[in-house]
């Protein structure tokens, strides 16, 4: 549960540094509730709270803040803080309709390792998540694969709880951690706002997706992710960082995006050497997020650059 959000103490806020306007453009924060009357309705934007130090915070429907202004600035995006609520919200994109209603996404190709096909959780430990109608439901603990992986292509499908579950910072929260360290966020950012580096498809706490092609709770979202593992030399120093390319419901949201270290909550963590293959991890964060059709292909991307 490394992306465990918590409340912000406004007294800890540092005043915004000089630079571009850090005002919040509410017009870019459209949060369509399931069953909202019309697309484009502006819902869920609560009143702006001004702290004693002048920092502006936007609370969610339940009064929790949707970001942090007391966190470190990101070395790779120095105009933004970790989980900065003022970071631009990626454009909402409506993904295409499934071409084949009974089979909206591809099943595993012949060289894939099937991690979940609806029948059992034998590829995972602990394997206590329950299977319902060929879908597995997040429950109690994170789970990790028995096998370890480095460079890989991952396909998974997930569905946020319907009706929506969880607070502003915990709405339909899950995540897929490559090498058990580097999270691509799973989150019901269709119905709830959160800092942009915490929405679905984000490299958690680092980089939002380029756009936000999420489907509403009760519908399946599809992640197709190519992950390049980090490389360390014999002294344990980082030679090259992890990278990720990702289609989210068929829409490109990361293109060889650098992962800057373990994707922790609020902290900027540095790489530390680890084995070249590590288990994949799925996050349990108090929400019964559902998964199906999970498969992975081993790749060797470092030696496939011509
Ligand atoms: Mg998460």
What SS3 string covers 236-284?
A: CCEEECEEEEEEECCEEEEEEEEECCCCCCCCCCCCCCCCCCEEEEECC
CA distance to 88, 111, 254, 278, per residue, from 212 (Å): 12, 30, 11, 29
Ligand 1 centroid to 109 CA: how many Å? 28
Express each pLDDT in 215-227 by its tens digit.
999 999 999 999 9
Q: Report the separation in Å between the CA atom of 264 and the middle of ligand 1, taken as the mean of its atom positions.
A: 10
* Positions of the chain with pLDDT under 70: 1-65, 98-105, 303-306
Whole-angstrom distance, CA of residue 199 vs CA of residue 160: 13
Question: What would the pLDDT profile of 136-161 be if each residue is shown by its tens digit?
Answer: 999 989 999 999 999 999 999 999 99
- Residue-level pLDDT at 97: 75
Q: Which domains does the chain have, with CATH numbers?
A: 26-96+110-298 (2.60.120.560)
The alpha carbon of 233 and the centre of ligand 1 are apart by a number of angstroms equal to 30
The reported pLDDT for the residue numbered 45 is: 34
Distance (angstroms) between ligand 1 centre and the Cα of 18 equals: 31
d(CA 235, CA 66): 40
Tell me, what's the pLDDT at 86? 87
Ligand 1 centroid – CA 241 distance (Å): 21
Cα of 37 to ligand 1 centre, how many Å? 29
Parallel, antiparallel or unpaired: strands 152-159 and 221-228: antiparallel
Quote the pLDDT of residue 129: 96
CA of 100 to the centre of ligand 1 (A): 29
**Ligand 1: centre distance to CA 79 (Å):** 24
């Amino acid at each position: 549960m490394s992306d465990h959000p918590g409340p912000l103490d406004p007294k800890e806020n540092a005043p915004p540094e000089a630079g571009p306007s850090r005002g919040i453009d509410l017009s870019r924060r459209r949060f369509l509730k399931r069953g909202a009357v019309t697309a484009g309705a502006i819902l869920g934007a609560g009143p702006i709270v001004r702290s004693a130090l002048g920092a502006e915070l936007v609370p969610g429907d339940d009064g929790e803040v949707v970001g942090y202004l007391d966190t470190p600035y990101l070395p790779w995006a120095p105009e933004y803080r970790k989980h900065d609520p003022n970071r631009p919200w990626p454009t909402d994109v409506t993904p295409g309709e499934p071409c084949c209603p009974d089979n909206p996404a591809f099943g595993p190709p012949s060289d894939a390792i099937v991690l979940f096909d609806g029948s059992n959780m034998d590829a995972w430990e602990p394997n206590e998540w329950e299977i319902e109608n060929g879908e597995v439901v997040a429950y109690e603990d994170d789970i990790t694969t028995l096998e370890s992986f480095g460079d890989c292509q991952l396909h998974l499908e997930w569905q946020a709880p319907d009706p929506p579950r969880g607070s502003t910072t915990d709405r339909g929260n899950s995540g897929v951690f490559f090498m058990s360290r580097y999270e691509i966020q799973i989150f019901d950012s269709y119905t709830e706002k959160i800092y942009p580096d915490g929405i679905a498809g984000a490299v958690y706490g680092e980089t939002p997706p380029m756009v936000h092609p999420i489907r509403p709770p009760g519908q399946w979202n599809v992640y197709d992710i190519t992950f390049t593992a980090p490389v360390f030399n014999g002294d344990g120093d980082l030679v090259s960082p992890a990278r990720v390319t990702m289609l989210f419901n068929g829409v490109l949201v990361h293109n060889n995006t650098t992962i800057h270290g373990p994707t922790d909550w609020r902290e900027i963590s540095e790489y530390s050497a680890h084995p070249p293959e590590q288990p994949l991890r799925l996050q349990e964060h108090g929400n019964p997020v559902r998964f199906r059709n999970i498969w992975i292909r081993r790749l060797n991307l470092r030696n496939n650059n011509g």
